Amino acid sequence: MKKSEKSNKRLDHCGFTSILLFGAAAICVFTLIPVATASADNSSHRPIAFTESGFVIGSTTDGGNEFLGIPYAAPPVGALRWTPPKRYEFFPRFVLQATQFGSACTQPGGIGSENCLFLNVYTPHMESGDRRHHGLPVMFWIHGGGLIDGSSNPYNPERLVKKGVIVVTINYRLGYLGFFAQSAIDAEGHLNGDYGLMDQQFALGWVRRNIANFGGDPDRVTIFGESAGGQSVYAQLASPLASGMFRGAISESGSYAEFQDYFANIVTLAVGETQGTPAVPSGAAIADSVGCTNQTASCLRAVPAATMVAGEPFPLYPFVDGTLLTQTMSAAFASGEFNQVPVISGTNHDEYRLFVALDYDLVGNPILTSAEYDTAVTALWGPVLAPTVLALYPFASYPTGGEALGASGTDGVFSCPARIADQSLAKFVPTYTYEFNDENAPPSQSEFGGVLTFPLGAYHSAEIPYLFKTGNVFGLPESLSPRQKRLSDAMVSYWTQFAETGDPNSSGEPLWSPYSASTDEFQSLIPPVPMVESNFDSSHQCSTFWDTF
């Protein structure tokens, strides 16, 4: 989904400022911690908090306090492109008016800027001196977008914040500016390849150092994300460098690149530099494509950011660099060599229908005939797997070609790989598995004005409006029915209770038991009230087909 971006032109990286003045500011802060603000009906007072870079002054809304566009690292520009994030110094005059989002990171379509390492902090309302909202659990959101697009800006966490948690949303480097393996750069001696994952960890470090001043508990941080954000959650679980940075993890639809053997898109730096994968060109080929045939780092750092990200494939993938990721997520989970914290992990019942819509119907080429379907299956699964997939998912067994392709894509790309991850994780940590099953998630097929030949069902990202206020879905107004609002309440309760205790259960919602391979039960997030689902394996043909490769 495309979202408009708000640029924050006020935030320029500042040089070192007087230690003496900084010390005076630090002394003053003790009268202002935790966050002080007037109640929601008194907008004459604005919330204020202190950070390592100075004071941030936010704004108050009906949903809580907002501190927007806080830089958590120095802008990764010029010589800092493709280097680990560096600490931001001080705000001009030690004060930041944190009322506008920072720029999104550079991405295709002329969107964003390299000066993009910003985060936003959302806190509940509180009066000055009110200790009830001190030491709150923190939820750290990592946005999706295939590691090539998106930003923190569209995700309004009001529903979560009203349940008594603090939510932090972040930007991180994207595309070839965030995930790039190239020999000259990798020879510079710093951490390499996974710059976007480095940014996520750096932001987690900022949270650990600063969130207490917003009323949060730095020892109760839960990371959560969807799609590429969910994949990032899995990566942070697997990363030795993220040890101790979070106490819980929630991955929504993050299984699309791992946990099976028929895709091999997460590779080592050496392979990424010289060979690439069927999905992503090598670093050498990328350098050639932007005019740096000499393969020098100086040439690459001089390439305009917009040129660097033009023509990127969707999606990109992290690398096994040997330090941040010492092995694939699949290997780490299977061996138990990961950050062992409680996990919520799930997928949506019709994940791949979104991509069918984007790749076919919404560009004027719906899959209407059996021959078109055969071609689409071959494009997705390749000539080796395609004949078997066509036999198992025949065109004639589905109302439309879109639903047929959506079924194999959902099962093979998302659902069955996620179940493998769940089975590995559950051997070591409490793992709560779900399937989002609202087949009528907005928007409806009719709202597309006849463009779609099939219903989207519980498509990839359909669960997000049940957790966040996003304003619109596919550019259409966000609207939940009373039954869907009841499901939203249950999901918000599960997510925030998990952040509070490491267990999603509370007295107000149906019991959600940890996953066990022996029972193979998932929590079905279906309106109006979640229930236990025991047919996940059979409905997605996991053990009978996809797990056999």
Cβ neighbours for 20, distance < 8 A, ≥ 6 positions apart: none
The residues, ordered by sequence, that sit 6+ positions from 24 with a Cβ below 8 Å of its Cβ are none
Q: How many CA atoms lie within 13 A of 435 on its CB side?
A: 27
- Stretch 146-175: mean pLDDT, rounded? 97
* Structure tokens, 362: 């919404």
The gap from C-alpha 39 to its chain's centroid, in whole angstroms, comes to: 32
> Stretch 521-534: mean pLDDT, rounded?
98
Task: Delineate the domains of the chain, giving CATH numbers in brackets.
Answer: 19-309 (3.40.50.1820), 342-548 (3.40.50.1820)
Could you report the per-residue pLDDT of 410-451, keeping only the tens digit for each?
999 999 999 999 999 999 999 999 999 999 999 888 888 789
Active site residues: 227, 351, 460
CA torsion angle for 265, 269, 272, 273 (degrees, to 10)? 180
pLDDT at 17: 29
- Scanning the structure block, which residue is given the tokens 């910003």? 118
Average pLDDT, the chain: 90
pLDDT given at position 322? 96
Q: In what order do the strands lie in the sheet with 48-51?
A: 48-51, 54-57, 95-97
Distance (Å, whole) CA 441 – CA 353: 13
What burial letters (b/e) apply to 253-281, b meaning 16+ CB within 10 Å? bbbbbbbbeebebbbbbebbbeebbeebb
Name 501's Cβ contacts closer than 8 Å, sequence gap at least 6.
Answer: none
Secondary structure element (H or E) that encloses residue 68, with its range: strand 64-71
Q: How far apart are CA 206 and CA 245, in angstroms?
A: 10
CA distance 266 to 330: 10
Task: Indicate the range of 194-208, 286-300, 467-481 predicted with least confidence.
Answer: 467-481
Q: Are strands 64-71 and 59-61 parallel, antiparallel or unpaired?
A: antiparallel
Q: How confident is the model at residue 127 (pLDDT cuts 50, 70, 90)?
A: low
| Helices and strands counted in the chain (H then E) | 18, 18
Residue 231 is encoded by which pair of tokens? 């994949």
Least confident window among 44-53, 148-157, 355-364, 453-462: 44-53
